Structure 1
Amino acid sequence: MTPPPESASPGSRAVGTGFALVATILIAVNLRPVASSVGPILEEVTQGLGMSTTVAGSVTALPGLAFGLVGALAVGLARRVGMTTGIVLGLLTLCIGLLARSMIDSTVLFLVFTGLALGGAAIGNVLVPAWIKRQPRDVRLMTLYSAGLTLGGAMGAALVAPISANFDLGWRAALGVWGLLALVAVAPWAVIAVRERATPGGRGSARSASAVGQIWRSPTAVALTVVFGIQSMNAYVQFGWLPQIYRDAGLSAGYAGVLMSLLTALTLIGALMMPTVIARSPSLTSWMYAFGVLLVIGNGGLLLAPSAVPWLWAIILGISGFAFPTAIALITARTRDPQVTARLSGFVQPTGYMLAALGPFLVGLIYEATGTWTVVLIMLMLSGVVLTLAGLRVAHPTRVDDELTA
């Protein structure tokens, strides 16, 4: 779906379609390894830096907190320096943090540079969807962006352990390589920033005549935040605890890992599908019902028969995870003006990630207190109901711009 002419700013004509595609893919695959690459080698990092168990646990909580806190500041940064310049600054911050944390021997500095890298990624999380909204072929770009986020997260988790095991620098090489990969993305975005600044009206500041009213007064924005937060919370819980749920049911660690890979692969399929589905569908009502029902069934299966057909529950939860690329794509689909898109992204993602960050923490507390997964899985089943109720509010093509001006 091509946006109406008024939604494409002059700056959107500063780069060609092919160049925009390459830049989108490069930044998308670089926004998630900073969060997903630490977990598989956390034991090696902990031993190498002499971390305590408590400090090591805080590393796993940093992504949600950083994405929430720093992401909330991204729109303000764009107002000051321009949207694409803000993206470049985020990428540079990401590179510095990733490379620096792989070279130091201090636990405190490791946490500082990890937070710095996550902050850079948070800026990209918020501003890239708004930049995509400015482009003539935003559906194609959003499809690549959603798929790139999922692929980058999977690459970070899957490749970090083999790199650590096969290079002399061990975990340092495994973490530092993502900083080098992020450097590759800086060059095309720097070119875009320079070209857009040289184009009349292309600076991409976050001011617009239509961007009036408090974003939280938009019912669509609030509902989309709930959808994003609930699905992100479930994803964080799945990545953090689903393998343990399977292992407690008697499955081997290797089989549990395969099931997680299956779930992730299905999420990638959803990232490729959903932007086009949204663009071509007059309503997403049936999808929203499906996301909630599948979330209830998948977690119910884990509760009642986790080892009977474990692959089936992984498939069901993987398909329910289509809700995440749906929420990302709706940030652009439910707005007209790119600057409203920036504000919506700067509200939905930070708030949603803060909500999501509580999930794994609460799951750990509940599991430790009860010794079983029963309460946790019932709560996750109930979250499917909440997801559907919020999803029905954003299922129809209402525009946040109209709600703000109303």
Structure 2
Amino acid sequence: MSETQRTPAKNTGRGRPLPFWMVLLAVILVAVNLRPGASSVGPVLAELQAALGLDATAAGVLTALPGLTFAAVGAFAVALSRRTGINGAVVLALGVVAAGLLVRAVVGTAVLFMLLTVLAFAGMAIGNILVPAFIKRHGGRRLPLLNSVYGTSLALGATLPLLFGGVLAGTGPQGWRLSLGIWGAVALLAFIPWVFLMWRAGRDPVATARRTRTGAKMRSSRIAVALSIFFGVQSMHAYVQFGWAAQIYRDAGLGQGQAALMAAIIAGLGIPGGLLMPVLVARSPRLRSYIVGLGICMVAGYSGLLLAPDTLPWLWAVCLGVGGFAFPTALALITARSREPQVTARLSGFIQPVGYLLAAMGPFAIGALHDISGSWTLPLALLIASAAVMVGAGIIAAAPGYVDDELASGGTKPRSRQ
């Protein structure tokens, strides 16, 4: 058992310590709201384009907005938490998510829709950065369990809009608005219990803790840099799939409902992945071999979409979904490769903005390449090639060691304690 699992974190907030059931519920409530704003667009993208007059390039920008916003706003999340505390920042994030998603569903112009989408994604960006620090702060011996719950809830939040988006959109001419707006109401429901949690637990100012004794920058850590690349490339694949997978299937001849179901399978497999991979990260000595296997699955899925998308559509969706296990792997590595909560917050604040900047380039590039080439051949070939980059970075990030040690030693190879 690792050092982070043996030693529960002390509570330095102004309020009372939180019981584990409350920590568990808090993680579920926030995590399930960090993806619907992005994944709910894919199933109704065609209807959205028609209603708001978005061309293919603007649609590509829309699919790139999650990564761009997560990168830009995520860089300031740790600084915000120094003023509001971890809990205060998450409450603010949920409120912003709810407002953005609810209002964007009723506007009639593309500009307002884009601005409100950015607002909602800004709230999600804050949650992306600070929830791992919240988990590290309260996890103690149950850190792998909380990581599993976090990854599974993220996957659930990404899957539900894909699963029900087509159904809700089919309720009428304006059904696409219901399909988008319902997730703002879900975020509002999560906002209320988080206000109570903040009142009970206090600010929980973990991010204000002193930095490592050397004050070294995260880019001096080999593990941190590799993990940011691994996180970024897998995020690129995830958001390409959120934004374009359903459309790729529709262009291959599948109906809207069946295409949405394939996209839901891809995202839905993140649920078992979120349960399994944090346990393997914490306990398995063969983690690097598993990362190679995830890359092979990803290549197989894209190859199927390239060569025979309508022959065995469910098989390619399953392959891509299993390849997506890289996402909970990356999240679990953030806490597994750091000891102290303040280092976890810094590591998360470094990895996710850098990673999401890479992720933002993917959906836009895929949309642009599709427009230029007139087919999905070139975009899918690019995705296949990038899977190799993801695997290479993942192998380095999964090697035993701690970012804390690399920061303390100026970036030299850390001492293994596993």
Name which of 19, 31, 35 aligns with 1:32: 35
| Matched-pair contact (CA < 8 Å) for 2:61–2:364 | no
Distance in 2 (alpha carbons) for counterparts of 1:384 and 1:170:
36
Query: Structure 1 residues 288 and 364 mapped into 2: Cα distance closer, same or farther (>3 Å)?
Result: same
Which moves more between the two structures, 72-81 or 237-246?
A: 237-246
Query: Structure 1 residues 244 and 192 mapped into 2: Cα distance closer, same or farther (>3 Å)?
Result: closer
- Tell me the equivalent position of 1:323: 326
Distance in 2 (alpha carbons) for counterparts of 1:278 and 1:161:
35
Distance in 1 (alpha carbons) for counterparts of 2:106 and 2:252:
40
| Matched-pair contact (CA < 8 Å) for 2:48–2:176 | yes
For the residue of structure 1 that corresponds to 2:210, the secondary structure is coil
Which moves more between the two structures, 288-297 or 351-360?
A: 288-297
Aligned-pair CA distance for 1:9:
4.1
- Tell me the equivalent position of 1:94: 97
Distance in 2 (alpha carbons) for counterparts of 1:140 and 1:320:
22
Aligned-pair CA distance for 1:54:
5.1
- For residues 5-404 of structure 1, the aligned pairs below 5 Å read 5=7, 7-11=9-13, 14-46=17-49, 48-49=51-52, 55-135=58-138, 136=140, 137-166=142-171, 170-197=175-202, 202-210=204-212, 212-249=215-252, 251-404=254-407
Aligned-pair CA distance for 1:376:
2.8
Letter in structure 2 aligned against 1:3: Q
- Tell me the equivalent position of 2:5: 3
For the residue of structure 2 that corresponds to 1:134, the secondary structure is helix
Query: Structure 1 residues 263 and 206 mapped into 2: Cα distance closer, same or farther (>3 Å)?
Result: same
Query: Structure 1 residues 52 and 209 mapped into 2: Cα distance closer, same or farther (>3 Å)?
Result: closer
Aligned-pair CA distance for 1:46:
4.7
| Matched-pair contact (CA < 8 Å) for 1:98–1:113 | yes
Distance in 2 (alpha carbons) for counterparts of 1:172 and 1:256:
19
Aligned-pair CA distance for 1:105:
4.0
| Matched-pair contact (CA < 8 Å) for 2:292–2:391 | yes
How big is each residue's C-alpha offset from its partner over 1:218-251, in whole Å with a ceiling of 9 and x where there is no partner? 1111111111111111222233333444455555
TM-score (norm 1): 0.89
Distance in 2 (alpha carbons) for counterparts of 1:189 and 1:278:
29
Query: Structure 1 residues 334 and 301 mapped into 2: Cα distance closer, same or farther (>3 Å)?
Result: same
The number of aligned residues is 403
Aligned-pair CA distance for 1:130:
0.8
Aligned-pair CA distance for 1:372:
3.9
TM-score (norm 2): 0.87
What 5-or-longer segments of structure 2 have no aligned partner?
410-418
For the residue of structure 2 that corresponds to 1:97, the secondary structure is helix
Query: Structure 1 residues 196 and 323 mapped into 2: Cα distance closer, same or farther (>3 Å)?
Result: same
Aligned-pair CA distance for 1:392:
1.1
Distance in 2 (alpha carbons) for counterparts of 1:171 and 1:305:
30
Distance in 1 (alpha carbons) for counterparts of 2:353 and 2:76:
9
| Matched-pair contact (CA < 8 Å) for 1:164–1:172 | yes
Letter in structure 1 aligned against 2:302: N
Letter in structure 2 aligned against 1:118: F
For the residue of structure 1 that corresponds to 2:343, the secondary structure is helix
Letter in structure 2 aligned against 1:163: L
Query: Structure 1 residues 313 and 276 mapped into 2: Cα distance closer, same or farther (>3 Å)?
Result: same
How big is each residue's C-alpha offset from its partner over 1:139-170, in whole Å with a ceiling of 9 and x where there is no partner? 21111111111111111233344335448974
Distance in 2 (alpha carbons) for counterparts of 1:259 and 1:42:
15
Which moves more between the two structures, 88-97 or 158-167?
A: 158-167
Aligned-pair CA distance for 1:355:
0.7
| Matched-pair contact (CA < 8 Å) for 2:339–2:402 | yes
Distance in 2 (alpha carbons) for counterparts of 1:327 and 1:10:
27
Query: Structure 1 residues 371 and 187 mapped into 2: Cα distance closer, same or farther (>3 Å)?
Result: closer
How big is each residue's C-alpha offset from its partner over 1:75-95, in whole Å with a ceiling of 9 and x where there is no partner? 111122211111111111112
How big is each residue's C-alpha offset from its partner over 1:278-324, in whole Å with a ceiling of 9 and x where there is no partner? 11113411112112222233333333444444433322222111111
Percent of aligned pairs sharing the same letter: 48
| Matched-pair contact (CA < 8 Å) for 2:235–2:359 | yes
Query: Structure 1 residues 196 and 102 mapped into 2: Cα distance closer, same or farther (>3 Å)?
Result: same
Distance in 2 (alpha carbons) for counterparts of 1:245 and 1:165:
20
For the residue of structure 1 that corresponds to 2:207, the secondary structure is coil
How big is each residue's C-alpha offset from its partner over 1:16-58, in whole Å with a ceiling of 9 and x where there is no partner? 0011111111111111111122333344445555656654543
Letter in structure 1 aligned against 2:394: G
| Matched-pair contact (CA < 8 Å) for 1:167–1:173 | no
Aligned-pair CA distance for 1:124:
0.4
Distance in 2 (alpha carbons) for counterparts of 1:373 and 1:180:
35
Distance in 1 (alpha carbons) for counterparts of 2:373 and 2:259:
22
Distance in 1 (alpha carbons) for counterparts of 2:290 and 2:144:
18
Distance in 2 (alpha carbons) for counterparts of 1:262 and 1:38:
16
